[in-house]
Amino acid sequence: MKLKDNEGRFKEWLSSDEQGLLSLYEAAHVALNGEDILDEILSFATRTLKRVLVVHNKTTNHSISKKQIEFSLRFPIWKCIPRLMTRNYIDLYSEDPSHDPKLLTFAKLDFNRVQKFHQQELHEITKWWSIVQVATNFPYARDRVVECYFGMTAIYFEPKYRRARMILSKICLTMILVDDTYDNYATYEELQILTKAIERFLLKRMCRSFLVEARWRTEGYVPTVEEYKTDAYITSSSLIVPTYAFLGMGTEIVTRDALKWLTNEPKMLRAIGAITRLHNDIVSYEMERKREHVASAVDCYMKEHAKSQEEATEIIWKEISKAWKDITEMHQKPTPLPAALIERLLNYARFYHVLYEQGDAYTHPQLMKAQVASLFVNPVPL
């Protein structure tokens, strides 16, 4: 089917078919490098769906279509964590007059049952975390138990991975304390001592990179783009989190070959690192420039390529788009990894899309309040 007319413009009828346009928009997200037509389709579909939404808003239309478009523009299927997508689909399906009552009831019961598992796990992690007394002992650090656990359920929400979620949540919370200590508290001299002490643990590679950032900050040094990317790949946690995530899943699925593939730092991990760090740099740029902070990717691009903030940001968005295409390619390409493990890596990238979709929700957790409440607080009404 041809989507463009003889003059190269998208045909008018596409704008009048809301569901067709939405499907086109969702499909365009699963693009690979070089598929420029899908980039064009995504741009066209996004613009058109936003215009459709304006029409809905003017007519105070609260239809299923309007709600679906609103959600998809923020969280397209390919970039949305499965659990959040499930909750949204149940809510929309409930409003569909043609829904199957038995199927819907079963889906609601299943969702609420798993939510109870997550609530219990979150209670246990919070109890463990309270022993650390972050507010008293580490007043400079971000206290983000719920947000951190949210990220772990993004990677794997199934009850059978309870142990893996608990382990990974505790590790990530510890990493946050270390990150904030390097970023917001200790002097460079103190951090040198701390780094030597941490050389005994698994976190040593990340802390070495934290120390590099601390030196850059202390010296007021703006690294080259390549220097920044090399360091940011480590500090983004895109290597350490997947490693620990795999270790918690059991030897039946996580084989020696799978771990070897992971330690070789494949393109998929580097793409995840690009998404996590570059997206964060964009949404937190204005806040971080107001305080002493290591140069971000925006600063590096601005200095090295003599670009304005807007131009540098545009370049970085293109790199994020390319990184998603790299992930899509690895997801579709045969690898030594079982599909279930590849899916966990994809979910990790999806978590960061959800986290930064409205801004820096990790620093300002109220931005993600609705998503957290829908997964951990509010059960689906029966």
Tokens of residue 348, six digits: 């990790």
Burial class (CB in 10 A: 0-12, 13-18, 19+), 45: buried
So what's the pLDDT on residue 239?
82
So what's the pLDDT on residue 61?
61
So what's the pLDDT on residue 335?
77
Q: CA separation (Å) from 255 to 212, 238, 248, 338, 341?
A: 34, 20, 12, 9, 11
Cβ proximity of 251 and 214 under 8 Å:
no
At CA 46, angle to CA 374 and CA 85, rounded to 5?
20
Q: CA separation (Å) from 15 to 49, 228, 361?
A: 8, 42, 33
- Extract long-range pairs of 299-308: CB within 8 Å, 24+ residues apart: 299/222, 300/222, 300/223, 300/224, 300/225, 300/227, 300/228, 301/225, 303/222, 304/224, 304/225, 305/225
Cβ proximity of 368 and 361 under 8 Å:
yes
Cβ proximity of 109 and 150 under 8 Å:
no
Comparing CA positions, the residue from 313, 241, 320, 339 lying closest to residue 79 is: 320
The tokens 């580097």 sit on which residue?
270
Q: CA separation (Å) from 202 to 121, 199, 364?
A: 25, 8, 29
Tokens of residue 108, six digits: 């609601």
Cβ proximity of 233 and 273 under 8 Å:
yes
Tokens of residue 47, six digits: 């613009």
Residues of the chain with pLDDT under 50: none
Q: What is the DSSP letter of 81?
A: -
- What domains, with CATH codes, occur in the chain? 1-74 (1.50.10.130), 112-368 (1.10.600.10)
Cβ proximity of 323 and 274 under 8 Å:
yes
Comparing CA positions, the residue from 351, 338, 325 lying closest to residue 155 is: 351
